Structure 1
Amino acid sequence: MNSDAIEAAFGSYGVEVIDQGLGTRVANLFSGRDSEKVCRTLAVTEFVQPINPALLGSHQEILDGNSIGATLRSAGFTINKKLLIKTEIPATAAFIALARGTVGEGQNLFTKVYALYAETPDDSLPYAVIAEAYHPAHYPPVHKEVTEIADLKEAAQRALKTLQRFRLKEGLKTPAA
């Protein structure tokens, strides 16, 4: 999982929910602590609606600010990510601020959009479509499976547009400020 890769590469991992609305959230997946936090992944999540009843308990924990993958994994699910889009986007002012200036303005960021499934031995439950832009020093895990489901592809395009247009709220240099 991405959280595991960040912790392995940089020695720490944290998640901060920057913005959350009905059915979506934007999160900063970072390494470091306090004033040393560096964004390694800026993630836009669009939750598949309606939420499957088997996922409701975990979903509430996730809405409360917990890591998606870690929460689902601790609830006994296996995580399966199926790639929808692989591209690059230029670093936005929001990403640069969250990365503490370690990324240059307009620098291309490797970006993936994928469908995340919570799986049991008997079932595969679609949970979210997630668009992620990665810090150039961070190499996320590879997604071997691909999906062509039309509804998920539409959600992928929406999540990617949100990621490309995301701005920090006025006067907010970092979410912790």
Structure 2
Amino acid sequence: MQNLAGKTIAILATDGFEQSELEVPRDTLRQAGAEVHVISLEAGEIKGWDEDDWGRAVQVDKTLDSVTSTDYDAIVLPGGQINPDLLRVEQSAIDFIKAFWNEKKVVAAICHAPWLLVEAGIAKGRKMTSYPSVKTDVINAGAHWEDSAVVTDQGLITSRNPGDLEAFCEKIAEEINEGKHERRAA
């Protein structure tokens, strides 16, 4: 894993995030030296989903209304079926994600989280992957869907599922260290 000392990363999530898709990137990126904040709609804790039942709670570090994209070098969007579905109807969450994209920063989404990229208008013309059940939504949004573990397109990182978390985290570190991305057409 590349060194991320001096980098700050936002993980945007709410109740129903897939447990490993939040905890593994959070812990891995912290171990690489990054400061990582779990950001949610409300203070306190959010509860994860662990495969087929409710999982552990995770402490929220900051609320969405108390941060801006300029505070961070990248945003990570964990999946799970519930989490991105709840967030994609929250305009403040969509605006937060769009701000990272517009500032040419790294945007990373795993599993069902590409729904948020679709909602934010980021998918069109991009190479992406997702959990298979989200494939049609991603294609209908104008993305070029690939059946790959991790797909990167000019600072946009997408990953299929929790089995690909190590490669997903490695790619996040690599893309952050590359700096801002020009966002050429896919």
| TM-score for the superposition, normalised by structure 2 | 0.25
**Structure (1 or 2) with the greater strand fraction:** 1
